């Protein structure tokens, strides 16, 4: 393998669209979690699928690692080039290629961000529902099988991608899926690529399923005395099949973070943040049902509103949660966890996790897409403090063990990246070997985002 030869060749081929400046390498060596800076040897900015294919063929010829990069917001070191090589920055492939309003689908390049897409869709009465909070790229979101606040109603990237164009490790360009809503035509390569984190191919185009903008939207917030009351409200809402659009839990520590970061003026207690989509009457009916459940579970101060300003304020606050948590200890770095359990185990999982953090030496906050059984902690560590890091990683390990014990998964939405790889054997057993078999078949040289998701060699 020769990274150097690939760098030389790509510089010649791409000119100013191949960067090796220190600043540019640094931008692509960062992450929003606790992984140390990890620099690539060069950053390529392709503009077309054919160009991606050419870059991949060059890297293949030299056995040079190639790591796709969307907006770099992933939290498990997913886009960091731990083995060096080329970072493939897809931000210049940022065109919405087609909106088929009648069919409720859109065709986009991978560098389009979800906010850019939704801005472009506004006039059509449609929207793309998957919302990870961060303004991530749609390619990155597909690659991590992202979801977020709205998955409880609209599903994850798995349910909302119809078709892909993908460049494989040997430079072949394939199309998976079609614009049909459903198909039984052969192996589901679309779903195989979704969640593969750039290890099986580079996504160069996505056909996305869109939703109609709801006639009415209302948001609500409700405070609880304890975690269990909040989580039980969630469980009952799901069991009653209320088609709730968002259902987010924050614990008391997170509420404190919102107060520090966004001057939120929240009581420092557990809260649920809710959103309802539907017709005017459906939205009112849903809110009433959930208010009733909340009340029975000790919820207080259930406030709901159809006013867009209040909704925007609520979700802006919620989307800033990552930074609100960091505000609890400025300068500290987060170890972010991401387990997902069957909903009947959710109250236990959250309560045990909260107690575990409370008994430790570090600060941590809990927040969750609880309608799906998915929640995160941000475990704050002082840079360079090894005791902090050990404690955080140990808490994370206990969370992951807990998730598996409860029949859940170590990652509900952030992906495996580098951070979770040590748990893959425990979660999947021999199925992890099967993943490696597939990786070896499609990328025999192990050049596509090596060291992530599976372990080769």
Ligand X SMILES: Cc1cc2nc3c(=O)[nH]c(=O)nc-3n(C[C@H](O)[C@H](O)[C@H](O)COP(=O)(O)OP(=O)(O)OC[C@H]3O[C@@H](n4cnc5c(N)ncnc54)[C@H](O)[C@@H]3O)c2cc1C
Q: Binding to its own copies (CB under 8 A): which residues in 417-456? A: 420, 424, 427-432, 434-435, 437-442, 453-454
Cα–Cα distance measured from residue 402 to residue 164, given in angstroms and rounded to the nearest whole number: 35
Which range touches its own copies (CB under 8 A), out of 22-30, 59-67, 306-314, 413-421?
413-421
DSSP state of 213: P
Answer yes or no whether residue 185 interacts with its own copies by CB under 8 A. Answer: yes
Residue 55 to residues 23, 196, 202, Cα–Cα distance (Å):
22, 20, 11
* Position with the least CB separation from ligand X: 140
Give the per-residue contact string, 371-410, with its own copies (x = CB under 8 A; - = no). Answer: -xxx----------------------------x---xxxx
- List the interface residues with ligand X, window 132-191 (CB under 6 A): 132-134, 136-137, 139-141, 143-144, 146-148
Contact 110, 165 (CB under 8 A): no
Closest CA to 75 of 36, 32, 130: 32
DSSP state of 165: E
Answer yes or no whether residue 67 interacts with ligand X by CB under 6 A. Answer: yes
- List the interface residues with ligand X, window 277-336 (CB under 6 A): 322
SS3 content of the chain, % helix, strand, coil (to 5): 40, 20, 40
**Binding site partner of 431, from its own copies, ligand X, none, Cβ cut-off 5-8 A by kind:** its own copies
Q: Which listed residue (58, 74, 411, 445) binds ligand X by CB under 6 A?
A: 74
Answer yes or no whether residue 149 interacts with its own copies by CB under 8 A. Answer: no
- List the interface residues with its own copies, window 86-125 (CB under 8 A): 100, 102-105
- List the interface residues with its own copies, window 273-302 (CB under 8 A): 279, 281-282, 285
Helix (H, G, I), strand (E, B) or coil at 212: strand
Residue 201 to residues 84, 111, 204, 333, 414, Cα–Cα distance (Å):
18, 15, 9, 31, 18
Per-residue DSSP letters for 106-138?
A: EEE-TT-BHHHHHHHHGGGTEE-----SS--BH
Which range touches its own copies (CB under 8 A), out of 183-191, 256-264, 296-304, 390-398?
183-191
**Binding site partner of 67, from its own copies, ligand X, none, Cβ cut-off 5-8 A by kind:** ligand X
397 contacts: CB under 8 Å, gap ≥ 6 = 423
Q: Which listed residue (178, 312, 387, 390) binds its own copies by CB under 8 A?
A: 178
Give the per-residue contact string, 299-338, with its own copies (x = CB under 8 A; - = no). Answer: ---------------------------------------x
Answer yes or no whether residue 202 interacts with its own copies by CB under 8 A. Answer: no
Answer yes or no whether residue 197 interacts with ligand X by CB under 6 A. Answer: yes
Burial of 219 (0-12, 13-18, 19+ CB in 10 A): buried
- List the interface residues with its own copies, window 25-44 (CB under 8 A): none
Residue 215 to residues 44, 126, 232, 277, 310, Cα–Cα distance (Å):
43, 11, 29, 7, 17
Answer yes or no whether residue 167 interacts with its own copies by CB under 8 A. Answer: no
Contact 138, 73 (CB under 8 A): no
Give the per-residue contact string, 30-59, with ligand X (x = CB under 6 A; - = no). Answer: --x---------------------------
Q: Which listed residue (71, 190, 409, 411) binds ligand X by CB under 6 A?
A: 71
Cα first-last separation, the chain: 15
Cα–Cα distance measured from residue 34 to residue 293, given in angstroms and rounded to the nearest whole number: 39
Closer residue to ligand X, CB minimum distance, 68 or 419: 68
Cα–Cα distance measured from residue 278 to residue 276, given in angstroms and rounded to the nearest whole number: 7
Answer yes or no whether residue 79 interacts with ligand X by CB under 6 A. Answer: yes
């Amino acid at each position: 393998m020769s990274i150097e030869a690939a760098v030389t060749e790509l510089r010649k081929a791409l000119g100013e669209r191949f960067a090796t400046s220190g600043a540019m390498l640094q931008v692509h060596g960062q992450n929003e979690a606790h992984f140390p800076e990890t620099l690539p040897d060069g950053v390529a900015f392709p503009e077309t699928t054919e160009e991606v294919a050419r870059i991949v063929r060059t890297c293949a010829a030299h056995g040079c690692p190639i790591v796709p990069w969307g907006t770099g917001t992933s939290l498990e070191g997913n886009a960091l080039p731990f083995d060096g090589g080329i970072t493939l920055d897809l931000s210049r492939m940022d065109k919405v290629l087609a909106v088929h309003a009648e069919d409720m689908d859109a065709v986009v390049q991978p560098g389009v961000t979800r906010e850019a897409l939704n801005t472009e869709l506004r006039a059509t009465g449609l929207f793309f529902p998957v919302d990870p909070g961060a303004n991530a790229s749609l390619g990155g979101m597909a690659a991590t099988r992202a979801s977020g606040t709205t998955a409880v109603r609209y599903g994850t990237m798995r349910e909302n991608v119809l078709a892909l164009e993908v460049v494989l490790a040997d430079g072949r360009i394939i199309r998976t899926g079609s614009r049909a809503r459903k198909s039984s035509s052969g192996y589901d390569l679309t779903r195989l690529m979704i969640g593969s984190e750039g290890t099986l191919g580079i996504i160069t185009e996505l056909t996305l399923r869109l939703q109609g903008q709801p006639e009415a939207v209302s948001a609500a917030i409700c405070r609880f005395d304890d975690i269990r009351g909040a989580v039980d409200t969630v469980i009952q809402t799901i069991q009653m099949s209320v088609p709730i659009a968002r259902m987010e839990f924050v614990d008391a520590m997170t509420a404190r973070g919102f107060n520090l970061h966004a001057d939120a003026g929240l009581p420092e207690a557990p809260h649920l943040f809710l959103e309802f989509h539907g017709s005017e009457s459906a939205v009112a009916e849903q809110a009433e049902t959930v208010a009733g459940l909340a009340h029975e579970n000790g919820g207080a101060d259930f406030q709901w509103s159809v006013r867009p300003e209040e909704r925007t304020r609520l979700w802006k606050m919620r989307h800033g949660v990552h930074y609100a948590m960091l505000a609890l200890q400025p300068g500290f770095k987060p170890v972010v966890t991401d387990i997902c359990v069957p909903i009947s185990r959710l109250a236990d999982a959250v309560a045990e996790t909260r107690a575990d953090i409370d008994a430790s030496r570090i600060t941590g906050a809990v927040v969750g897409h609880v309608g799906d059984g998915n929640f995160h902690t941000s475990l704050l560590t002082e840079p360079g403090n090894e005791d902090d890091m050990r404690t955080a990683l140990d808490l994370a390990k206990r969370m992951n063990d807990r998730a598996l014990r409860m029949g859940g998964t170590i990652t509900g939405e952030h992906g495996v990246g580098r951070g979770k790889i040590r748990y893959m054997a425990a979660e999947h057993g021999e199925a992890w070997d099967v993943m490696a078999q597939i990786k070896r078949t499609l990328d025999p040289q192990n050049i596509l985002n090596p060291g992530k998701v599976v372990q080769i060699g």
